[in-house]
Amino acid sequence: MPKKRILSGMRPTGKLHIGHYVGALENWIKLQNEYESYHLIADYHVLTTKLETGEIYQDSIDMLIDWLACGLDPVKSPMFRQSQIKEHTELHLLFSMLITVNRLERNPTLKDQMRDLNIEQVIYGHLGYPVLQAADILLYKGNAVPVGEDQVPHVEISREIARKFNNQYGEVFPEPEPLLTNFARLPGLDGGAKMSKSLNNTILLSDNPETVKAKLKKAVTDPNKIRKGDPGNPDICLVFAYHKKFNLNEVPEIDTNCRSGALGCVDCKMRCASKISEVLAPIIEKRKYYEQRLNEITDILNDGEKRAKATAEATMSEVRKKMNLG
């Protein structure tokens, strides 16, 4: 029985942070052995919130290097730029005929993005972001999409569009299921809801141990625990959230000693920094390997785009035939 297929991707924003690793990459690496995986560098999606494209290629390369350094296998899973597979735009256009403006305006993540990015007037492309995302997924006949909870409404729109197309023109597309990641989103160093490079509250996958220590020293903790000896509440401390991911074995001890006051915040942060750097060490080492072999990166990208293109062309041939478009 053939493996089911997944499509996963990220907007290229350059070097990735540990939030990307915990929220997506770690899961992708596991899934690549269970599914036939396609990994999308979503460079068209960048344009929905940022029109400047001068850094988009370098950001794509930096992100691809992090993917490889974390353990994604280009032999198992094609990695490719959305902009190089023109079938994405064709299918996006056809799908845009199958959904109403009112339906897209009800998308809760659109409202969240407008609030977070202080957007007063939404552009047509931003409103249609989930339609392009549906084209991304269904072009490769994705059976499942690994996402966080905030992206589930987008997957539901993809399911609706697949259903509408199949009912209107004949069966072509599966209705993709969301594959939820197991670990909650890591909070930012400033105590914010998420890590974001635009908020300067991240630990990058490429940060060396000294940089990780320096960043964690400034991390927000329980405001009532001012000095060692003060009892703390780890439930509201973001450093404790990091311990639960990167230092699970010591969590019970840290929990007890924080609450009693026996463990000070500085010591707690340095222990956490050490554990994070242990996880990052092999990633940084592999990243250096690829940084010194950029020709190999170009070859991986070209091969991924060639393989993705073949799948995309086959799907669009089927779509055109069903729609009597040639």
Confidence of residue 119 (pLDDT cuts 50, 70, 90): confident
Lowest-pLDDT range, 135-144, 254-263, 301-310? 254-263
Residues 6+ apart with CB under 8 A from 152: 178, 180
pTM above 0.85, yes or no: yes
As a whole number of Å, the CA-based R_g of the chain is: 22
pLDDT at 104 over 80: yes
Name which of 113, 38, 87 is nearest 317 in CA terms.
87
Domains of the chain: 5-186+294-322 (3.40.50.620), 207-287 (1.10.240.10)
Residue 181 Rama label (left phi>0; alpha psi -120 to 50; beta): beta
pLDDT at 121 over 90: no
Q: Residue 311 has which token pair?
A: 């799948």
Half-sphere exposure of 89 (CA within 13 A, CB side): 9
The confidence score (pLDDT) of residue 89 equals: 97
The phi, psi pair for 82, rounded to 5°, reads: -55, -40
pLDDT at 118 over 80: no
Per-residue pLDDT tens over the stretch 33-46? 999 999 999 999 99
pLDDT at 116 over 80: no
Q: What is the mean pLDDT of residues 312-317?
A: 98
| d(C-alpha 40, C-alpha 83), whole Å | 10
| d(C-alpha 148, C-alpha 203), whole Å | 20
Burial class (CB in 10 A: 0-12, 13-18, 19+), 264: middle
Per-residue pLDDT tens over the stretch 256-307? 999 998 999 999 999 999 999 999 999 999 999 999 999 999 999 999 999 9
Question: Which parts of the chain are beta strand (E)?
Answer: 5-10, 36-41, 79-81, 144-147, 177-180
Residues 6+ apart with CB under 8 A from 322: 169, 170, 172
The confidence score (pLDDT) of residue 220 equals: 87
Average pLDDT of the chain to the nearest whole number: 92
